[in-house]
Amino acid sequence: MEAKHIICQNSFVYYQVYGAGKPVVLLHGFGEDGKVWQPQIDFLQEHFRLIVPDIPGSGQSEIIKDANIDTYADVVKQIIDKEYPEGQEQVTLIGHSMGGYATLSFAEKYPGCLNSIGLFHSTAFADSEEKKQTRRKAIEFIKTKGAFSFLKTSIPGLFTASFVENNPEKINALIGYGKNFSNEALVQYYEAMIERPDRTRVLKQMNTPVLFIIGENDMAIPLQSSLQQCYLPDQSCVTILEQSAHMGMWEESEKANKVLFNFLFNYF
């Protein structure tokens, strides 16, 4: 593993690089950092070169003032440019949840940099008004009670009840990451998600393969909503994790790893 960084808009952005071979960027979601991909890193690093950033405001990366989803996509582009300064290497970008929103922004802005993308419990649809209201309530909770209190309350709901019951140490580990988040970062993420546009057009225009990994029990990105976007790209690969909610990389890590490997192996 190599620990690296870039400076983006005067902010330190941390990322790690594992393995060798064709490049794959793993982009985490809200209330996480790059460590959330550890089960996938352990499995895939023998076959691919994995680039795993901490989105600004998460993990070891500093927050970027007034950042939005497009900013996070630009951060990924800057990292890729540093790793491949000649600009001839295409990457696969896999985004979980909010990381998927940044993945779609990247695909819209920099399609020539990609040979495929993956949406892992994520969606191209904009927030509904109901979803926006839910996020605004979360913002008020964070402002009044703090980031860690919010994550401690919300994280268990991202998993199936049986996973929470059988894996308390993993839930506590993810909650533990939450101690590093500032109120400002989580509020910025929610505001960025509220403001992001519908990007179904991006999927319709994709001329490279798109992987969809969907949790059957996902309450954050519901199954039926996820399925509605799968027919939009010319080439879709769809997997439903039947025992997962919103955190399939942990809930069904072995199956998720095999799906990712097969997609990456077949579509590079």
pLDDT digits (tens, 9 = 90+) for 204-248: 999 999 999 999 999 999 999 999 999 999 999 999 999 999 999
Average confidence (pLDDT) over 69-73: 98
Give a yes or no: residue 186 inside a domain: no
**What confidence tens digit (pLDDT) does each residue in 86-127 have?**
877 899 999 999 999 999 999 999 999 999 999 999 999 999
- Tell me whether strands 91-96 and 114-120 are parallel, antiparallel or unpaired: parallel
CATH number of the domain that 235 lies in?
3.40.50.1820
In a domain, 261, yes or no: yes
R_g (Cα) of the chain, nearest Å: 17
Domain that holds residue 238: 2-126+197-266
Domain assignment of residue 67, yes or no: yes
Give 181-201 pLDDT, tens digit per residue.
999 999 999 999 999 999 999
Please give the DSSP secondary-structure letter assigned to residue 232. Answer: S
The answer to whether 203 touches 233, Cβ cutoff 8 Å, is: yes
Residue 46, Cβ neighbours under 10 Å: how many? 11
**What tens digit of pLDDT does each residue of 22-52 get?**
999 999 999 999 999 999 999 999 999 999 9
Q: Is 137 a domain residue?
A: no
Tally of domains in the chain: 1
Q: Model pTM?
A: 0.97
Residue 172 resides in a domain: no
Res 167: pLDDT: 97
Within-domain flag for 192: no
Q: Quick check: is 223 in a domain? A: yes
